[in-house]
Amino acid sequence: MNEVDMDRRSLFGQTSGRAAMLAMGALAASAALPLASAIAQETRPPSDIDILNFALNLEYLETEYYLRGVLGRTLDDVAGTNFGGSVRGGRPVRFSTPVREGMIKNIGGNELAHVRFVRQTVESLEGTPIPRPVIDLEAGFAGVARGAGLPDFDPFANEMNFFLGALLFEDVGVTVLKGSARFIRNDRVLESSAGLLGAEGYHVGALRAVLYKMGAPALERFGAISDLRDRLDGRQDLDQPLVLGGKVNISPSNENAIAYGRTPQHALNILYGSPGANIMQGGFFPEGVNGAIRAT
């Protein structure tokens, strides 16, 4: 396959958005600020429990996505318990090879284990794990389709779209774990967070490699999704397509080959589907996420 330069800037231009940075309670700043500047403005950094519970929102989202796509089952069905809020959308996807289906099953199993592990870790810190927020996969991906200019994008319609939807979440997960690491005080929690980031990084690499091999349609669609995420989370360039400068780009990273970091507020701007400040709900989370970190 010929390598095609799908640099999103050539597709969509330099479009910047305003987003909020680290907001605790009513505090919000601009996502156009560098990460360090936003941290300097923060009056009460999030606690370890706050960070873990925020990550748990994403783990619930990812687990529901994979289990519905590969098994046609819900998290409650598989775990045998009710985790909280309702979940809308999702259906089984037909995969072209046992290897690709096995990959998704493996990743889904990882995400289910992450839900259990993060909940247990919060409890070990004498905290209360958040219940699953209300999740709307249909509305969330409909927003992605509109924002990315992909009117026919349904992640459960076919294998390629499902891999694209998975990568949308996984890239956000890696970057928010990286961006939150500096706030973690407990060494054991920091080590566990590094392990979660490593697992999510493996997921990203595998998904990006498969999508790259799918050729131009996948490259174009992911370029549009990548650009949408970058517009939503502020002027900083924290996202990269599958091909950059005419070369394959399996590991999105800066000039030092270090993964990008997003604050929880960067992630919420993407998951709520809005670049605005003090947004509390929308997109994949119609009633907002649960926990202390809720606003963009």
Q: What six digits make up the tokens of 181?
A: 């690491």
Tell whether 147 is covered by a domain. Answer: yes
* CATH number where 23 lies: 1.20.1260.10
Tell whether 199 is covered by a domain. Answer: yes
Name the 3-class secondary structure at 244: strand
Tell whether 295 is covered by a domain. Answer: no
- Which pLDDT belongs to residue 24? 26
How many CB atoms are located within 10 Å of the residue 36 CB?
Answer: 8
CA dist 164 and 207 (Å) reads 8
- Average pLDDT per consecutive 10 residues, the chain (296 residues; last block may be shorter): 33 31 30 41 79 98 98 96 97 97 97 98 98 98 96 95 96 95 95 96 95 95 94 83 88 89 94 94 98 95
Total structural domains within the chain: 1
CA dist 59 and 160 (Å) reads 22
Helices H / strands E in the chain, number of each: 10, 6
- Which pLDDT belongs to residue 251? 86
Tell whether 35 is covered by a domain. Answer: yes
Determine the structural domain holding residue 104 and report its residue range: 8-272
Q: Which amino acid is at 213?
A: K
CA dist 97 and 281 (Å) reads 37
- Which pLDDT belongs to residue 38? 43
- Which pLDDT belongs to residue 41? 45
- Which pLDDT belongs to residue 234? 75
Name the 3-class secondary structure at 234: coil
Tell whether 188 is covered by a domain. Answer: yes
CA dist 142 and 156 (Å) reads 12
Sign of CA dihedral 144, 22, 174, 117: negative
Q: What six digits make up the tokens of 250?
A: 């399996």
DSSP state, residue 250: S
How large is the angle between the packed helices 187-213 and 159-180, nearest 10 degrees?
Answer: 150
Tell whether 277 is covered by a domain. Answer: no
- Element of type H or E holding 109: helix 98-124
Backbone angles phi, psi at 57, to 5 degrees: -55, -45
- Which pLDDT belongs to residue 72? 96
- Which pLDDT belongs to residue 33? 39
Tell whether 291 is covered by a domain. Answer: no
Query: Residues 75, 67: contact at Cβ < 8 Å?
Result: yes
Tell whether 136 is covered by a domain. Answer: yes
Collect all residues with Cβ–Cβ distance below 8 Å to 91 and sequence separation of at least 6. 68, 69, 72, 156
